[in-house]
Amino acid sequence: MQKVLMPLFMLLLLSACDKRTPDQIYNAALDAKAQKKYDLAIKEYSQLADKAPEYEMLPKALYDMAEIHMNQLSDMDGAIKAFQRLANQFTHSEEGLKARFMAGFLLANNVKRYEEAANEYHRFITDYPNNPLIEAVQFELDNLGKPIEEIPTLRGLITPPKDEVSQEIDIKVQNK
């Protein structure tokens, strides 16, 4: 038991003793990201959010944290949580607006949790009723869970599989 509690106690002690300013923490996160130390960048951004919830760069920091989860770590659940945290905490910021959309989009299109996606999209409509993205949100809502082949406006974007005859023709053309 003591082996488990000691590292936890040390971590709490170190974070409580961190005397860095929000700018210093933010810059440390940016440096970690630039050095491709993504876990450290996320840790710094999380610490910034906990230590300075009113910090002017926090919406950008949280958005960056979500993008690291999504793009560098392929951690969609982490990205969704970060986008939701941002959207809930900074609803009326540009980053909050984009984060609400992205949370819904990832829930619908990446992790296939359609009910949660619908909830995010409905919150977007409630929070940003006059935003130009409303059309995209409504499109997403109208087509939640549908395969691409069943969405008329996207049907033409799919290349149908070649049948055997056209594959043979391709092979003969390539061999000449």
Mean pLDDT of 116-139: 96
If pLDDT is split at 50, 70 and 90, which confidence band does 173 have?
very low
Higher local confidence (pLDDT), 26 or 171: 26
User: Does residue 136 belong to any structural domain of this protein?
Assistant: yes
User: Does residue 166 belong to any structural domain of this protein?
Assistant: no
Percent of the chain exceeding pLDDT 90 equals: 72
Residue 19 three-state SS: coil
User: Does residue 76 belong to any structural domain of this protein?
Assistant: yes
User: Does residue 26 belong to any structural domain of this protein?
Assistant: yes
User: Does residue 141 belong to any structural domain of this protein?
Assistant: yes
Burial of 89 (0-12, 13-18, 19+ CB in 10 A): middle
When the pLDDT of each residue in the chain is averaged and rounded to a whole number, the result is: 87
User: Does residue 39 belong to any structural domain of this protein?
Assistant: yes
* DSSP-assigned letters across all residues of 131-165: -TTHHHHHHHHHTTT--GGG-HHHHTTSPPPPPHH
If pLDDT is split at 50, 70 and 90, which confidence band does 171 have?
low
CATH of the domain at 68: 1.25.40.10
Model pLDDT for residues 22-67, shown as the tens digit of each residue: 999 999 999 999 999 999 999 999 999 999 999 999 999 999 999 9
User: Does residue 162 belong to any structural domain of this protein?
Assistant: no
Q: How many structural domains are present in the chain?
A: 1
pLDDT of res. 65? 98
Please say if the pLDDT value at position 81 is more than 70. Answer: yes
Domain that holds residue 92: 20-157
What's the pTM?
0.78
User: Does residue 4 belong to any structural domain of this protein?
Assistant: no
pLDDT of res. 154? 80
If pLDDT is split at 50, 70 and 90, which confidence band does 148 have?
confident
* Cα distance between residue 53 and residue 60, in whole Å: 12
Please say if the pLDDT value at position 93 is more than 60. Answer: yes
Q: Determine contact, residues 99/66, Cβ cutoff 8 Å.
A: yes
pLDDT of res. 13? 47
Distance of CA 92 to the CA centre of its chain: 18
Percent of the chain exceeding pLDDT 70 equals: 80
